[in-house]
Amino acid sequence: MRKQIVAGNWKMNNDLSQTKSLIDALKSKTKTSNAEVMVAPTFTNLSHASSVLKNTNVEVIAQNMHFAENGAYTGEISASMLKSIGIETVILGHSERREYFNETDELLAKKVDAALAKGMRVIFCFGEELADRKSGNEETVVGNQIKNALFHLNAASYQNIVLAYEPVWAIGTGETASPEQAQDMHAFIRKTLADKYGDNVADEVSILYGGSVKPANAEEIFSKPDVDGGLIGGAALNADDFFAIVNAF
């Protein structure tokens, strides 16, 4: 059975004291669903968050990492550094990384390899832009993003891969893909995996939806058969909203 996952991506928000307050609020919430819960604070607050949330049902994960083991890469963080503070999961390929930091499929393939080599789990993000959808190219774009960054992997690697479909036009815009649009794309993603790796691999990979998920729309989106959870931005900064989404399963 593939896992249900709700992950909060805090992006470049929350200084240390705000992070402490949000964590306190999260700890006071009750989880009534079976979903795995994760939060991704910014790098400076990861160590604090990971020690405070250790042995709770909220996993602390990273928003990004570099592909190199160590060395002259000013400003970067490696997989080993993350592991040394208890981080076992990393988000890679978020559209903001692709757009503002020029991360390409080729670079992301190297990051995925580096994370998997350290035994980390990867939440791999991808999604089309508005122009792609308007021109009817969304499946081609998404298919290529997956093939270019992930199809060099062997089937066993997918035990540590979670996919996150995030249409760029729905991120932080308040505009959500309809549950049908999300389901159609998730089914296409699963078929893309099945064509390459077979049904067993495709059926076991969790595919999250991201893009303006809120308490008001989470239940309907999560009710779709190929939607296994969500990657949540804005709504993850509020503990009540985040747990309403977690409990929407």
Q: Can you give the binding site for ligand PGA, defined by CB under 6 A?
A: 9, 166, 171-172, 210-213, 231-235
Taking the complex as a whole, the smallest distance from the CB of residue 107 to ligand PGA amounts, in Å, to 19
Q: What letter represents residue 74's amino acid? A: T
> Pick from 237, 183, 174, 243: which is nearest to 215 by CA?
243
88 classed as catalytic: no
66 classed as catalytic: no
Catalytic: which of 66, 94, 96, 128? Answer: 94
CA distances from 55 to 79, 81, 175 (A): 21, 20, 36
Rank residues 82 and 231 by Cβ distance to ligand PGA and give the closer one: 231
Q: Which string of DSSP letters, residue by residue, matches the chain?
A: -PPPEEEEE--S---HHHHHHHHHHHHT----S--EEEEE--HHHHHHHHHHSTTSSEEE-BS---SSSSSS-TT---HHHHHHTT--EEEE--HHHHHHS---HHHHHHHHHHHHHTT-EEEEEE---HHHHHTT-HHHHHHHHHHHHHTTS-GGGGGGEEEEE--GGGSSSSPPPPHHHHHHHHHHHHHHHHHHH-HHHHHHS-EEEESS--HHHHHHHHTSTT--EEEESGGGGSHHHHHHHHTT-
Give the nearest residue (CB) to ligand PGA: 233
Taking the complex as a whole, the smallest distance from the CB of residue 175 to ligand PGA amounts, in Å, to 9
Rank residues 210 and 229 by Cβ distance to ligand PGA and give the closer one: 210
Q: How far apart are the first and last CA of the chain?
A: 15
Rank residues 66 and 94 by Cβ distance to ligand PGA and give the closer one: 94
User: Residue 11, annotated ligand binder?
Assistant: yes
Catalytic: which of 96, 128, 138, 166? Answer: 166
User: Residue 136, annotated ligand binder?
Assistant: no
Rank residues 162 and 201 by Cβ distance to ligand PGA and give the closer one: 162
User: Residue 9, annotated ligand binder?
Assistant: yes
Taking the complex as a whole, the smallest distance from the CB of residue 6 to ligand PGA amounts, in Å, to 11
User: Residue 229, annotated ligand binder?
Assistant: no
Taking the complex as a whole, the smallest distance from the CB of residue 147 to ligand PGA amounts, in Å, to 22
Taking the complex as a whole, the smallest distance from the CB of residue 162 to ligand PGA amounts, in Å, to 13
User: Residue 234, annotated ligand binder?
Assistant: yes
Rank residues 11 and 118 by Cβ distance to ligand PGA and give the closer one: 11
Which residue ranges make up the annotated binding site? 9-11, 172, 212, 233-234
Catalytic residue positions? Answer: 94, 166
Which residue ranges make up the annotated binding site for substrate? 9-11, 172, 212, 233-234
